[in-house]
Amino acid sequence: MFLKGKSAVVTGSTSGIGLAIARALAGEGANVMLNGFGEAAAIERARTEIAAASGAEALYDPADMTRPEQIAGMIARAHDAWGGPDIVVNNAGIQFVSGIADFPPEKWDAIIVINLTSAFHVMRAAVPYMRAKGWGRIVSTASAHSLVASPNKSAYVAAKHGLVGLSKAVALETATDGITVNCISPGYVWTPLVESQIPDTMKARGLTREQVMNDLLLAAQPTKEFVTPEQVAAFALFLCRDEAKAITGANLSADGGWTAA
């Protein structure tokens, strides 16, 4: 357990990619702070399962990613509990699909705040603790849409491009502090977020569910397979190893070949 004695905060970790990453980190001994929305009983079940399976401590913080003071409070709570956080994973995200002419401004604002601005607040709060310890890992879940665009996703594409730029800047600022800052950019991962955007895409493009899945989503991935949350989690776990300390400021693809073309 190479993360024994370390602690992690994973935003958007009550389901999907974030939950898989939290489980992977705990499996290597890290104490983990879960965060996100969902049914209280399901969140508590996930928390207790992680703790029981790993022997690590698992806490839950309901910090709203649109509220900077709550984000700072969550990071401070992790520090009070464990002396960390040594690792933060920016994974919180939402999506909305619409052409630019009909894109609701409030949806733009929400996507930018949750997918991009929240990561700034997490990093701002966590970096001083990491600097004090001389070790830290910041991993952000970006997307193939941080590298290429798709129609009807202007806010999401802008936010993910911005997340990569933010990560590169912070990587340079912390390069001599024992801290690495990287993005993982998956292709389509079968998660509640991807599943939830299918009806909007069906409506926007006049397609059936099967057409959206096979002709749009998987059409972009030469492997013709969805990436799994566990594959992304394994990637994040590797970035936390000492063997990965030379990797910083990188945007690493796990997209089934989507961005190879």
In degrees and rounded to multiples of 5, residue 5 shows phi and psi of 90, -5
Query: Region 210-232: what's the mean pLDDT?
Result: 91
CA–CA distance, 29 with 242 (Å, rounded to integer) = 15
User: What confidence tier does 261 reach under pLDDT thresholds 50, 70, 90?
Assistant: confident
CA–CA distance, 158 with 102 (Å, rounded to integer) = 17
- Check whether 220 has a pLDDT greater than 90: no
Burial (CB count within 10 angstroms: exposed 0-12, middle 13-18, buried 19+), residue 105? exposed
- Check whether 103 has a pLDDT greater than 90: yes
pLDDT at residue number 174:
99
pLDDT at residue number 151:
93
| CATH domain 7-189+228-250 topology | Rossmann fold (3.40.50)
According to DSSP, the residues that pair with 184 across neighbouring strands are 141, 252
SS (H, E, C) the chain: CCCCCCEEEECCCCCHHHHHHHHHHHHCCCEEEEECCCCHHHHHHHHHHHHHHHCCCEEEECCCCCCHHHHHHHHHHHHHHHCCCCEEEECCCCCCCCCHHHCCHHHHHHHHHHHHHHHHHHHHHHHHHHHHHCCEEEEEECCHHHCCCCCCCHHHHHHHHHHHHHHHHHHHHCCCCCEEEEEEEECCECCHHHHHHHHHHHHHHCCCHHHHHHHHHHHHCCCCCCECHHHHHHHHHHHCCHHHCCCCCCEEEECCCHHHC
So which residues are the catalytic ones? Answer: 156
Percent of the chain with pLDDT over 70: 100
Query: Region 224-238: what's the mean pLDDT?
Result: 96
Burial (CB count within 10 angstroms: exposed 0-12, middle 13-18, buried 19+), residue 16? buried
- Check whether 70 has a pLDDT greater than 80: yes
User: What confidence tier does 201 reach under pLDDT thresholds 50, 70, 90?
Assistant: confident
User: What confidence tier does 223 reach under pLDDT thresholds 50, 70, 90?
Assistant: very high
User: What confidence tier does 8 reach under pLDDT thresholds 50, 70, 90?
Assistant: very high
Residue type, 120: F
pLDDT at residue number 34:
98
Rg (CA), the chain: 18
Mean pLDDT rounded to a whole number for the chain? 96
- Please, are residues 75 and 48 in contact by the beta-carbon 8 Å criterion? no
- Check whether 148 has a pLDDT greater than 90: yes
Query: Region 115-132: what's the mean pLDDT?
Result: 98
- Please, are residues 99 and 204 in contact by the beta-carbon 8 Å criterion? yes
According to DSSP, the residues that pair with 136 across neighbouring strands are 179
pTM of the model: 0.94
Residue type, 200: D
